[in-house]
Amino acid sequence: MIAVIVRTGFRALRRDRGAFLLAFILPIALFSIFAVVMGGMGSGGTARVSVLVVDEDGTAVSARLVRGLRREPSLAVSASPYTAATAEAAVKQGVAPAALIIPKGFGANPIAFGQGTDRQPIRILHDSSDPVAAQVVAGLLQKVVMTSLPDSMAGEGMKYFDQFSGGLTPRQRQDMESNLSKLRGLIEKRDRESNAPAADNGNNAGGLVAVDMRDVVGENKRSPMIAFSAAGIGVMFLLFTASTSAGSLLNEAECGALDRILSARVSMTTLLVGKMTYCTMLAFLQLTLMFLWGAAVFHLELFTHLPGFVVMTVATSFAVASFGMLLATVSGTRAQQAALSTLLILTMSAIGGSMFPRFAMPDAMKTVGLFTFNAWAIDGYTKVFWRDEPVSHLAPQLAVLIGAGMVLFLIARRFARKWEYQ
């Protein structure tokens, strides 16, 4: 009897394409995406951190440091066209998550073993929306210094030798012991202080090179990551909502209401535009509610960014509505539509940044992510809420979302011809 039940279950599953898709194809698709995102395709797929390097010092030492940074495989260095000011602006605009500025005078005294006070600190200007990038750049900077400036390290070592050994006479040995004891005291003191919470500006003056870190984008934000969450999660659920609401077309087709509507004074184009408007308005309300909740509970600065929010939300809502319409018109039945939409929406959300931040993805995956609404919507909301950019800077995101939405709608209209006549 149990065998009959099992066999019946498998037979039904085999003939239910939607359930089959969800049971086997979707898990494999998502597993593959996450494997790629997490770097599972080998070392070549590991994400590199983009950093803008500005060499204000212009000495041979700073030039060698820049060359060392460029050789570092984990960094993607862009150097030439930037000044400190333009690099800061570029970080604010999201061109790169960090800029490294080598100050004038750095080459004269680049390295100190311990708390040197006479050094010019290298400045790292960063965007804390990518919390990993700045730390990676700071850490790799110390490594590059060791590998790129060995002469400076040797010179510094000799200085310390002169300072602490004083020669090999008993007096010198006694002095060295005494000074080394002081150095050990300094190290112990530094170690003790390192247990304290890091300063907000992330200064890293205790390394070989002094580093002054500053969050140039989020330093004045009350809740830096809320806009990301609202946009990422919001767009993913918007896609589900649009898919469900556009799916009413399939319900109407299955129950005959679509036939009745089309036999009245309603054309298919009018019907689709009506459905599209409904889905767009529903998506707009959904996102607005989510951002209002974010403003009320998580201090999201909604009301100071209203124009950008409105245009991004209209464009995003339009795009997801058109996506929903396309899914509904492509699918033959509601079951097919449910399976297809689940597969596509979870995939788009995974590679588009709704589930996993795109800055941590390999470059190839970042590029693939640009084929999703999620990525463009998140980028747009980031510009509005995180970078405080004006509406005019949203042109690329708006163009892609609205343009793609229109294309998808036209394709949906083409597929909807199947319902016009039999």
Partner 1 sequence: MAAIPLRIDSVVKRFGEVTAVAGISLDVQDRTCLGLLGPNGAGKSTLIRSIAGRIRLDSGGIQVFGQPANSAAARAELGWAPQELALYPLLTCRENLEAFGQYQGLRGQALRTAIQWCLEWAALTDRADATVKSLSGGMRRRLNMAAGLIHRPRLVLLDEPTAGVDPQARNRIFEMVEALRTEGTTVIYTTHYMEEAERLCDRIAIVDHGRVIALGSKDELVAQSFGGRSDVLMHFAGTVQNGAEWAASRGGTVEQGVGHFSVDRPTDIAGLLDAAARDGLQVIDVTLRRPNLESVFLQLTGRDLRQ
Which residues of the chain form contacts with partner 1 (CB under 8 A)?
A: 252, 255-257, 259-266, 421-422
Pick 199 or 257: Cβ nearer partner 1: 257
Measure CA of the first residue to CA of the last residue in the chain; give whole Å. 44
In the numeric block, the tokens 């974010």 are attached to: 294
The C-alpha atoms of residue 30 and residue 306 are separated, in whole angstroms, by 35
Which burial class, exposed, middle or buried, applies to 269 when counting CB atoms under 10 A from its CB (0-12, 13-18, 19+)?
Answer: exposed
- Which tokens go with 373? 């609404």
Minimum Å distance from CB 265 to partner 1?
Answer: 5
Gap between the Cα atoms of 16 and 329, Å rounded: 19
Q: Specify the residue, 33 or 253, whose C-beta has the smaller distance to partner 1.
A: 253
Give the nearest distance from C-beta 266 to partner 1 in angstroms: 5
Bridge partners, residue 51, by sequence: 77, 98
Residue 283 CB, shortest distance to partner 1, in Å, is 20
Closer Cβ to partner 1, 174 or 251, answer by number: 251
Shortest spacing between CB 309 and partner 1, in angstroms: 32
Using the structure block, give the residue that is written with the tokens 């997801």. Answer: 320
Which of residues 258 and 401 has its CB atom nearest to partner 1 in the complex?
258
Q: Is the sign of the CA dihedral 390, 392, 397, 398 positive or negative?
A: positive
Residue found by looking up tokens 């319409």 in the block: 325
* 267: DSSP letter: -
The minimum distance between CB 218 and partner 1, in angstroms, equals 45
Of 163 and 251, CB closest to partner 1: 251
Q: Cβ of residue 228: shortest distance to partner 1, in angstroms?
A: 36
Smaller CB separation from partner 1, 104 or 418: 418
DSSP per-residue string spanning 345-368? HHHHHHHHTSSS-GGGS-HHHHHH
Smallest distance from partner 1 to CB 317, Å: 23
225, with CB counted inside 10 A (0-12, 13-18, 19+), is middle
Q: How far is the CB of 255 from partner 1 (least distance, A)?
A: 6
Of residues 154 and 255, the one with the C-beta less far from partner 1: 255
Paired tokens of 329: 């018109």
**Closer residue to partner 1 in complex, CB, 108/257:** 257
CA distance 273 to 269: 6
Q: How far is CA 121 from the centre of its chain?
A: 28
